[in-house]
Amino acid sequence: MKTAPIEPARIALAPDGLPHAPDFGDVYHPAAGATGQARHVFLGGNGLPARWGGRPRFVVLETGFGLGNNFLATWDAWRHDPQRCERLWFLAIDKHPPTRADLARLQASSTLPELARQLVAAWPALTPNLHALEFESGRVRLLLGFGDVAALLPQVMASVDAFFLDGFAPDRNPAMWSLPALKQVGRLAAPGATAATWSSARALREGLATAGFEVSIVPGFSGKRDMTTARYAPRHRPAVQAGGLQIHTGPREALVVGAGLAGCAAARALGREGWQVTVLDRAASIAQGASGNPAGLFHGVVHGDDGPHARLHRAAALATERLLRPWISGGRVRGQIDGLLRLAGTPATSPWPIDYVESVSGQAARARSGLAAAEGGWWFPGGGWVVPGDYAGALLEAGDAHFAGNACVEAIERRSGRWHALDEHGASIADAPVLVLATAIDLPRLLGPALAEATGTLAAVRGQITGLPAAGLPAPRVPVADAGYVLPAVDGVLWCGSTARPGDADGRLREADHRHNLAQAARLLAAPAIEALPTDTLQGRVGWRAVTPDRLPLVGALPDLAACTTARHDDRLRRLPRLRDADGGLYVIAALGSRGVTWAALCGELLASWVAGTPCPVEADLRDTLDPARAWLAARRRVALADPQT
């Protein structure tokens, strides 16, 4: 999917005081009131709140988030409904979202001031990706996609129960009501889904009917004669489930193996969806593998072409900042989010908003980092450092997960509809309908040769970090990175790193590796004396990163290779048979490589979407990019191209 920077909305006030979009020649809501319209047209037109009563999850999708008035009214209705669903998901797309300042200005007179204040406070950077915001301790989830409906709707993976169609008037904003867009609405419709809009345009009604809806005209809001409601009733049952997701319908119970950042992030995301999660680890306590480093940094990535790597890193970094900021400021997790400087020589101009990344000159870089010699580069205001073990602990706690240590899993097995983790005697340590492997470099061994083929090569890359006494040395105020990095002093120690040696199993600290790290630190801090420091005064730690050839994580369900080869399946990832059904399955979250701190939050959410069928937190093409079967499928395609008979 091609991305472009987001152009914020231009919003004026019409003479009657209504917010007005001069570019579309239309108002955001009628004079009779945004909340009133939301209640009559969008909630009432979709049979809400009654329809969500007693359900574990209800998913709304809105085209045209605008000022968020429909969202606020929906959230308010959910709050006041004693029969409310356990969790309310609200997905919304907007090509021209308001800036935070405009949103604050226009919501200052909201009829729902407390909710509006929370929305403004959570308003994300205007970057073209999905932004997962949370309210009500995660029971109300707002997934905002900034971009054109024509490009973004086909990228949404969700099973939607109610659609709010709220573009500007069809004659001034045809893209929002086009037949392809309405067909996407049909693709995303869960069984029994409904749609509503204030418009009663004929083309819209015909489009909805073509998309599989039964359409009705009902009385409109505040004297408007008509509006449209619709119920999904396709003539033929679609071959794939709504939105391309498999919805889990069995008991919400999962077993996670591996209590590093990956396993703990999976536990959090599932736990918040109401799952009971047990996390096993061979170590006695959590975060004893790579996630046991004393500190790690996190930040986004900028690439000229904004390809999948950059888009994924951006979504991941923004999600990490959102999750960690309150934990760090509340003292739950040791760390700092005051920005991060990525040195890059002459700064290019950044196409992105400065609340995500800014290109800075040498002078600005020196002022912000406190390092006399820093050159220009990228400034990530939401970047920082964290103690990964603290982070893993907070994730586990947030998922209300049960941890069991000293549990070395030697094999896995599916028996009577449940996945078992087995010890060295073949006895079951624990079992659940869903098994999630978060065992980093031990993934291929646990999967065994047949299944490991499905996830492709995974390298174990040894790394050593070095901690030097901060006294008398220039310390940066924020993490500073290029090929190496230096963090601000933590408890009197400056951590710097790191080395990277694939296939090296030596767990002892090595002098040569310390020297390598000291040389990088000396360069970054412009302090040549560092290179000569005696290594016996230094602290250090060795760990192993699990790394795929494309350096991206593996997140999702394992493919069912036997079914793939015999049935000669479609060559698309989304159609591959998987080792799962509606009652359970086998999943991985692994290969977080050198950036596990940045990846954990987003990958945990993505894993939960795979497992539970919750709306996917990233665009479909990005989900494919992290699909654990991607390398296997690519290899199979290469073979098929070379020999069309296979």
Ligand X SMILES: C[S@@+](CC[C@H](N)C(=O)[O-])C[C@H]1O[C@@H](n2cnc3c(N)ncnc32)[C@H](O)[C@@H]1O
Q: Is 285 in the site for ligand FAD (CB under 6 A)?
A: no
Cα distance between residue 258 and residue 264, in whole Å: 8
Residues between 176 and 195 that touch ligand X (CB under 6 A)? 176
Other CB atoms within 10 Å distance of the CB of residue 84: 20
Kindly state the tokens that stand for 21.
């979009």
Cα distance between residue 491 and residue 468, in whole Å: 11
Stretch that binds ligand FAD, among 171-179, 304-312, 329-337, 538-546 (CB under 6 A): 538-546
Q: Is 148 in the site for ligand X (CB under 6 A)?
A: yes
What are the residues whose beta carbons fall under 8 Å from the beta carbon of 576, sequence distance 6 or more? 559, 560, 564, 569, 570, 629, 633
Rounded least distance, CB 28 to ligand X, Å: 5
Cα distance between residue 377 and residue 469, in whole Å: 27
CA distances from 445 to 79, 283, 482, 542 (A): 48, 17, 34, 21
Q: Is 67 in the site for ligand X (CB under 6 A)?
A: yes
Rounded least distance, CB 466 to ligand FAD, Å: 10
Other CB atoms within 10 Å distance of the CB of residue 644: 7
The answer to whether 75 and 35 have CB atoms below 8 angstroms apart is no
Residues β-bridged to residue 402? 278
User: In this chain, which residue has its C-beta nearest to ligand X?
Assistant: 66
Residue closer to ligand X, measured from CB, 148 or 482: 148
Rounded least distance, CB 473 to ligand FAD, Å: 19
What are the residues whose beta carbons fall under 8 Å from the beta carbon of 178, sequence distance 6 or more? 150, 207
Kindly state the tokens that stand for 327.
């934990």
* Position among 74, 159, 246, 293 found at the interface with ligand FAD (CB under 6 A): 293
* Position among 128, 263, 467, 484 found at the interface with ligand FAD (CB under 6 A): 263
Residue closer to ligand FAD, measured from CB, 68 or 383: 383
Residues between 220 and 259 that touch ligand FAD (CB under 6 A)? 257-259
**DSSP string covering 122-181:** HPPP--SSEEEEEEGGGTEEEEEEES-HHHHGGG----EEEEEE--S-TTT-GGGG-HHH
Please name which of 599, 626, 558, 638 lies closest in space to residue 308, comparing C-alpha atoms. Answer: 626
Rounded least distance, CB 483 to ligand FAD, Å: 13
Cα distance between residue 482 and residue 366, in whole Å: 15
Stretch that binds ligand FAD, among 13-21, 155-163, 205-213, 293-301 (CB under 6 A): 293-301
Instruction: Return the C-alpha torsion angle 552, 553, 558, 563, nearest 10.
Output: 0
* Position among 110, 246, 359, 439 found at the interface with ligand FAD (CB under 6 A): 439
Distance of CA 389 to the CA centre of its chain: 21
The answer to whether 376 and 346 have CB atoms below 8 angstroms apart is yes
Kindly state the tokens that stand for 350.
């950044």
The answer to whether 381 and 490 have CB atoms below 8 angstroms apart is no
Residues between 28 and 47 that touch ligand X (CB under 6 A)? 28
Q: Is 595 in the site for ligand FAD (CB under 6 A)?
A: yes
Q: Is 488 in the site for ligand FAD (CB under 6 A)?
A: no
Residues between 493 and 532 that touch ligand FAD (CB under 6 A)? 497-498
Amino acid at site 553: P
Stretch that binds ligand X, among 66-74, 517-525, 571-579, 580-588 (CB under 6 A): 66-74
Q: Is 412 in the site for ligand X (CB under 6 A)?
A: no
Q: Is 285 in the site for ligand X (CB under 6 A)?
A: no
What are the residues whose beta carbons fall under 8 Å from the beta carbon of 523, sequence distance 6 or more? 484
* Position among 57, 96, 100, 545 found at the interface with ligand FAD (CB under 6 A): 545
Rounded least distance, CB 72 to ligand X, Å: 8
Cα distance between residue 368 and residue 366, in whole Å: 6
Cα distance between residue 626 and residue 623, in whole Å: 5
Cα distance between residue 509 and residue 256, in whole Å: 31
Amino acid at site 631: A
Calculate helix-pair angle for 308-329, 596-612, nearest 10 degrees.
100
Mark residues 464-483: x for contact with ligand FAD by CB under 6 A, - for none.
Answer: xx------------------
Rounded least distance, CB 60 to ligand X, Å: 11
* Position among 6, 61, 143, 149 found at the interface with ligand X (CB under 6 A): 149
Tell me which of ligand X, ligand FAD, none is bound by residue 290, counting a contact when its beta carbon lies within the kind-specific cut-off of 5 to 8 angstroms.
Answer: ligand FAD
Cα distance between residue 515 and residue 533, in whole Å: 9
Residues between 339 and 398 that touch ligand FAD (CB under 6 A)? 388
Q: Is 165 in the site for ligand X (CB under 6 A)?
A: no
Q: Is 401 in the site for ligand FAD (CB under 6 A)?
A: no
Residue with tokens 């005696």: 534
Q: Is 594 in the site for ligand X (CB under 6 A)?
A: no
Residue closer to ligand FAD, measured from CB, 258 or 339: 258
Length of the chain: 646
Mark residues 123-152: x for contact with ligand FAD by CB under 6 A, - for none.
Answer: ------------------------------
- Using CB under 6 A, count the residues that bind ligand FAD: 44
Stretch that binds ligand FAD, among 73-81, 214-222, 289-297, 346-354 (CB under 6 A): 289-297
Cα distance between residue 305 and residue 353, in whole Å: 16
Rounded least distance, CB 289 to ligand X, Å: 43
Residue closer to ligand FAD, measured from CB, 355 or 410: 410
Stretch that binds ligand X, among 90-98, 217-225, 599-607, 638-646 (CB under 6 A): 90-98
Q: Is 588 in the site for ligand FAD (CB under 6 A)?
A: no
Rounded least distance, CB 514 to ligand FAD, Å: 12
**Under the rule (CB under 6 A), what is the footprint of ligand FAD?**
257-263, 280-283, 288-291, 293, 296-298, 388, 407-409, 438-440, 442, 446, 463-465, 497-498, 543-545, 590, 592-598
**Under the rule (CB under 6 A), what is the footprint of ligand X?**
9, 28, 62, 64-70, 93-96, 148-149, 166-168, 173, 175-176
